[in-house]
């Protein structure tokens, strides 16, 4: 963080299907109807949590994350898929989101539109198309997760930053918070 940079904060909350509904779907049995599939003598409970949508062939990214400051640097969105974040190995994640139609200030969702959620290690989250987000933060020194993507999105994220420290390529719209609104957002964990 640069000296003299204004910092504003939001507090993360535990993810629930109701609280996360404006942004996407919680991928867990909670809030979903059990499907009547009893082929294995009642040893499996199946819940239809949602459908992944993509205008292009989808790919899975395996993401190894390390701790980073809980500061929102960029907000990005993708219009061609519903993106899912699924922790592996029980590692919880932290995700920051804003609705696709969020009120904006200089092309960035306003502070009041930003929400942060803690995703437990046994739960995933899938965001709707166009939902603004910062890629999930690890809450442990190291974690592994699965993320849905498609080739042009993945390759777009590897592109060089432009003169505004942003990326706009294919299905990647990644905007620099500090350069656009002049402040950083710190995420506080729930008590």
Count of the separate structural domains present in the chain: 1
Residue 83 belongs to domain with CATH number: 2.60.120.480
pLDDT digits over 31-89, tens only? 777 777 777 777 777 888 888 999 999 999 999 999 999 999 999 999 999 999 999 99
Q: Which token pair is 180?
A: 């656009």
Range of the domain at 11: 6-188
Helix/strand/coil (H/E/C) assignment for every residue in 54-75:
ECCCEEEEEEEEECCCCEECEE
Residue 30: per-residue pLDDT: 78
Closest CA to 148 of 101, 78, 98: 78
Residue 182: per-residue pLDDT: 94
pLDDT digits over 134-190, tens only? 999 999 999 999 999 999 999 999 899 999 899 999 899 999 999 999 999 999 999
Residue 47: per-residue pLDDT: 80
Within a domain: residue 163?
Answer: yes
- Cα 42–chain centre separation: 34
CA dihedral (177, 183, 189, 191) positive or negative: negative
* 105-122 average pLDDT score: 97
Within a domain: residue 1?
Answer: no
Within a domain: residue 66?
Answer: yes
Residue 42: per-residue pLDDT: 76
Q: Is 163 exposed, middle or buried (0-12, 13-18, 19+ CB in 10 A)?
A: exposed
Q: Does 3 have pLDDT greater than 70?
A: no
Within a domain: residue 93?
Answer: yes
């Amino acid at each position: 963080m640069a000296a003299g940079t204004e910092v504003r904060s939001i507090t993360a909350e535990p993810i629930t299907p109701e609280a996360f509904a404006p942004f996407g779907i919680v991928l867990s049995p909670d809030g979903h109807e059990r499907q009547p599939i009893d082929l294995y003598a009642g040893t499996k409970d199946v819940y239809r949590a949602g459908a992944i949508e993509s205008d292009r062939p989808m790919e899975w990214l395996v993401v190894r994350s390390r701790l980073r400051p809980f500061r929102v640097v960029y907000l990005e969105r993708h219009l061609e898929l519903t993106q899912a974040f699924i922790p592996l190995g029980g590692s919880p994640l932290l995700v920051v989101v804003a609705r696709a139609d969020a009120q904006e200030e200089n092309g960035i969702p306003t502070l009041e539109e930003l929400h942060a959620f803690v995703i437990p290690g046994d739960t995933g989250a899938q965001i709707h198309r166009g939902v603004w987000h910062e890629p999930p933060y690890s809450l442990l020194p190291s974690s592994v997760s699965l993320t849905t993507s498609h080739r042009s999105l993945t390759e777009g994220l590897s592109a060089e930053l432009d003169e505004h420290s942003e990326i706009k390529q294919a299905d990647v719209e990644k905007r620099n918070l500090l350069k656009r609104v002049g402040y950083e957002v710190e995420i506080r964990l729930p008590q």
